[in-house]
Amino acid sequence: MLRLYHMYRGCMHEFSICQNLVDAIVNEVNAIQPLPKRLLKVHVALGHLRQIIPEYLQFAYEVLIKDTVAEGSELLVRTVPLEVKCRKCQWQGEIERQAFICKSCGSTELEMLTGMELYLENLEIEVEDAEGN
């Protein structure tokens, strides 16, 4: 129990984000006609700069999908790298969060292209066949 308690404390950030995610998933699934038999997998894109730990997000997901249409489904997280464009020399590419400078000219005047996203990419669902199986 102690371990679980720490886990909860450690990922409150992920829990609040994940609640929004689960709400979005439930809405998506309920909008599919006919209603799918089962939700199998959920693919999510997560920006590198989001400071969300994928394992925590997955843990929160497991807890939050209980008693929803998403119960039993698996959350698959794809990390999107931090990509920038330099305003000085127009260099474009991937950088590390720790070193927010242009890899070509060293400028810090960077425009962020990717790295802040968090969105649903795909839902894998199981549907009933014509015989109702």
Tell how far CA 63 is from the center of its chain. Answer: 16
> Whose Cβ is closer to Zn ion: residue 32's or residue 89's?
89
Asked if residue 86 binds Zn ion (CB under 5 A), the reply is yes
Using rule CB under 5 A, residue 52 touches Zn ion: no
Least distance from Zn ion to the Cβ atom of residue 11, Å: 36
Nearer to Zn ion (CB atom), residue 100 or residue 119: 100
| Site for Zn ion, residues 106 to 125, rule: CB under 5 A | 107
Sheet holding 118-126, edge to edge: 74-80, 38-47, 118-126
Complex with Zn ion: residue 4 or 89, whichever CB lies closer: 89
Provide the pairing of β-strand 83-86 with 74-80: unpaired
Q: Is-contact 32 110, C-beta < 8 A?
A: no
Return d(Cα 84, Cα 30) in angstroms, integer: 37
Where along the sequence are the contacts to Zn ion (CB under 5 A)? 86, 88-89, 91, 102, 104-105, 107
